Amino acid sequence: MPTLSTMIAESSEFKSDQEIMLNIIDRVENHMKYEKQRLHKTSSTGKSNECKEPSVSTDFEAARLILSHFSFLTFETLQVS
């Protein structure tokens, strides 16, 4: 039974696949290095990325959209009132 290294050495298709996989691995490793640098840079600047509460909404467009979607708010109901 041939070993994996001999199969790769003999077949150009396997060589091509191996090159593609090695290229992907290199890209992932480079991206991981970039992400670590980015994380270190943002943690050293002291800026926090915590979520903040949204401001109080005075617009009621979302409520109108939901009410109209469920047919609680229609042109007929607006005209009757």
Ramachandran class of 46: left when φ > 0, alpha when ψ lies in -120 to 50, beta otherwise: left
pLDDT score at 47: 64
User: Structural domain boundaries of the chain?
Assistant: 15-45
pLDDT score at 13: 82
**Confidence band for 36, pLDDT divided at 50, 70 and 90:** very high
Positive/negative CA dihedral, 67, 69, 70, 73? positive
